[in-house]
Amino acid sequence: MQDRLARHFLDAESVLLGKTLQPFTLWHWRTLAALESPLVGGGDITFADLYIGARICALPAFSAIPRFGSFLNQLRHGWTHARYDRFFDDERDTWFDHLAHYQAGPKVLRVGDNQGGGCLKVHSVIYLTTGLMRLGLSDREAWGFTPGLARWYLAGAAENEGRDLNIVTEQHIREALVAGYSIEEMDL
């Protein structure tokens, strides 16, 4: 548990296509989703998508978004992989490593019939943001959180309100399996 939480206080030093990426915040997530980027919405990823993601994620949260306009369409439709194949896999892996660093929320465990307090619905960017605002953060503060750290705050708030989410470590999971329990592990 501690490693998954601690990573949010240490920035990942990620460089994607020559751009040093900022911590991946809810603002970055929302901006890429607004551009219908497969980097956050799923689908086939092109070099153009990585380039746009690098440009957006190199910006601090709340920066003015570059006007891509027709350039965006040219990139998406005109850039072929042939020239960039040898770099593409490495750059795509860099993106997913960077994203994973800032996505890690607490793990919860359901053992046997013990459903605890249930799980939190914390996968939606707007749910995370409004949940943080309910905790008293301003709109700007909430959008500046990384998704994983937002999940930790919401899980901590739920536990403080008396919900038992069964937040566990990897050691807890191994012990439950050795003891013969049927378990369902979920990332919040």
Tens-binned pLDDT, residue by residue, of the chain (188 aa): 456 666 666 667 889 888 899 999 999 998 998 888 999 888 888 888 898 899 899 999 888 877 665 555 555 554 544 455 667 888 888 888 888 888 877 766 544 444 444 444 445 788 889 889 999 999 899 999 988 888 888 888 888 888 877 777 667 767 777 777 665 554 54
CA separation for the pair 72, 178 (Å, rounded): 52
Largest CA distance in the chain: 59
Q: Which residue has the tokens 């949940």?
A: 131
Give dist(CA 138, CA 140) in Å, integer: 5
Tell me how far CA of residue 25 lies from CA of 94, 99, 103, 129, 156, in angstroms: 17, 10, 9, 10, 19
pLDDT of the residue at 57: 93
| Bridge partners for 111 per DSSP | 114, 183
Closest CA to 101 of 38, 148, 49: 148
